[in-house]
Structure 1
């Protein structure tokens, strides 16, 4: 285990495209996925025991499910998965044309509904190289094929936002009345009002960024309502107040932070999975811990607890 200023590497996993860091109170583990491996992985906080399951197809996000196992975003849309039992059971595909869009990040809200956005995937086929996948900038007008979906406990799916390039998040305020959604490639973060029935309204810009800031990726919210946002290609994890004020920055030993999450028995510990897509020997020499699972030390507030998917 390696440790630096403000961080500790729990697992030098060399994840290619790590995503969906999530705490599971049922077994005391931090889970995360590697979209490109593909795999679901877990780390037991008390013992340090690690586990991995090579999945039948890629999975981009998971969240604990009240009835057992996890709800997942994957190649087949939404699915029920159980990494320990190696169960993979598709439920519904919300994307009308999976050749031009794929599901990405996903989380539950405070009422146990599962939200997952999609992103452009027109370049993702068997002939696509890692270098091509790295070429993420382009004509946003033609690449805005992503949407934001809500999966309710009864299995119904609704589309809550359209014309997204790369959806990440969302994240929800502690009271569940506010949602934050990142569209990573256009470098924008939006904020919405959330109605009691889960409908989004009143979209407005929360933050906009410059390329040198990095691309806003996954998010976590603490009990003070502050948003912890990971940034791809920037070495930084940043904490923003609900009014968008930058509260603090944490410098990481790697460039590609992907998804933070609070965990531990009192949700006072903060974790982050990272990525190493396209890295060779030279890049790993510069960033030997790229793709690792990190703990961010001494966050100033605990996290808002994860609510399991109610379905």
Structure 2
């Protein structure tokens, strides 16, 4: 695999592939397709891919002591790939009608942060939550947006990044402790182009890689928000990325085909597939939710 040249490694044709997670103990890449209520797995050693049926439309997953903590609709639960059994953990209460969980990730203290959104993508009804290791759920003080995406932190844990997709902005906050967010600011914007910022990942140099929906590209931003590198993709709707491989120098990219016209799908035969590319700077090691 050549440096910075994306290749399709799993032609899965997901409607909405997203939330890629690398499992270092297994050497496997996991991701979900909430449109079809599927879990996907890719083994880079064998190049084989596998698909699992899920009892919920999981939008985000993370590792948790040999199982997968997943969130979707308005609930969180555990999925054990070895038995294919799902156990509901928590159902969210008090959310506006039509809301659903859209994104999430593990914070430096190993709590799980996640956000809800309006399922119709019409109103700013999002809310942010923190699932503590003791399974208590607490609200976070992030502003409401129409579509939130991305949960990632700087290497020192002092900056939290997320995306306001509709406004085409990547936001940064000071992360002072396990709950407090302050000094909200625009880290980067994609308004000069056609793309919308979606899922992100951070590398060891503190640079943020972002998948640009409808932009057909990945963008690497330096810690000051300046564009460092642009990688073009052969499909227009990348949704997220994560680092994997033994050296964490493989960047995996999930993509979508939902909403594409027949002509667009003919021009993008690998839309909805999993891509991978080699990068120079390794990513940060992934975190697991510690509340299993």
Is the aligned partner of 1:149 residue 2:129?
yes
Distance in 2 (CA, whole Å) between partners of 1:106 and 1:95 is 18
Distance in 1 (CA, whole Å) between partners of 2:127 and 2:15 is 24
Partner of 1:110: 108
Is the aligned partner of 1:200 residue 2:176?
no
Partner of 1:132: none
Distance in 2 (CA, whole Å) between partners of 1:64 and 1:75 is 19
Distance in 1 (CA, whole Å) between partners of 2:3 and 2:236 is 15
Partner of 2:59: 60
Question: Is the 2:2–2:277 contact (alpha carbons within 8 Å) kept by the matching residues of 1?
Answer: no
Unaligned runs of 5+ in 1: 124-135
Aligned residues: 290
Partner of 1:306: 286
Distance in 2 (CA, whole Å) between partners of 1:159 and 1:212 is 34
Distance in 1 (CA, whole Å) between partners of 2:188 and 2:196 is 12
Distance in 1 (CA, whole Å) between partners of 2:4 and 2:245 is 21
Distance in 1 (CA, whole Å) between partners of 2:56 and 2:186 is 35
Partner of 1:270: 251
Distance in 1 (CA, whole Å) between partners of 2:68 and 2:45 is 22
* Cα separation, partners in 2 of 1:178 and 1:54, compared to 1, 3 Å: same
Distance in 2 (CA, whole Å) between partners of 1:4 and 1:83 is 32
- Indicate the SS of the match to 1:284: helix
Ranges of 4+ aligned residues in structure 1 off by more than 6 Å: 2-5
In the TM superposition, 1:33-48 aligns within 5 A as 33-48=32-47
Give a deviation string over 1:227-259, Cα, whole Å, max 9, x none: 000011011100001110100100000000101
- Indicate the SS of the match to 1:212: coil
Deviation at 1:65, TM superposition (A): 0.4
Distance in 2 (CA, whole Å) between partners of 1:232 and 1:243 is 22
Deviation at 1:97, TM superposition (A): 2.7
Distance in 1 (CA, whole Å) between partners of 2:16 and 2:94 is 25
Is the aligned partner of 1:71 residue 2:52?
no
Partner of 1:27: 26
Distance in 2 (CA, whole Å) between partners of 1:185 and 1:103 is 17
Deviation at 1:33, TM superposition (A): 0.2
* Cα separation, partners in 2 of 1:37 and 1:102, compared to 1, 3 Å: same
Distance in 2 (CA, whole Å) between partners of 1:19 and 1:176 is 24
Deviation at 1:26, TM superposition (A): 2.2
* Cα separation, partners in 2 of 1:74 and 1:211, compared to 1, 3 Å: farther
Question: Is the 1:94–1:149 contact (alpha carbons within 8 Å) kept by the matching residues of 2?
Answer: no
Question: Is the 1:111–1:307 contact (alpha carbons within 8 Å) kept by the matching residues of 2?
Answer: no
Deviation at 1:150, TM superposition (A): 1.3
Deviation at 1:158, TM superposition (A): 1.6
Distance in 1 (CA, whole Å) between partners of 2:163 and 2:93 is 19
Question: Is the 1:145–1:162 contact (alpha carbons within 8 Å) kept by the matching residues of 2?
Answer: no
Give a deviation string over 1:143-163, Cα, whole Å, max 9, x none: 000112111101111221241
Question: Is the 2:62–2:289 contact (alpha carbons within 8 Å) kept by the matching residues of 1?
Answer: yes
Unaligned runs of 5+ in 2: none
Comparing 266-275 and 187-196, the one that deviates more: 187-196
Distance in 1 (CA, whole Å) between partners of 2:37 and 2:78 is 16
Give a deviation string over 1:98-122, Cα, whole Å, max 9, x none: 533211121112221111112211x
TM-score by length of 1: 0.88
Partner of 2:172: 191
- Of 149, 154, 166, the residue aligned with 1:173 is 154
Partner of 2:225: 244
Question: Is the 2:74–2:92 contact (alpha carbons within 8 Å) kept by the matching residues of 1?
Answer: no
Distance in 2 (CA, whole Å) between partners of 1:3 and 1:226 is 21
TM-score by length of 2: 0.94
Partner of 1:99: 97
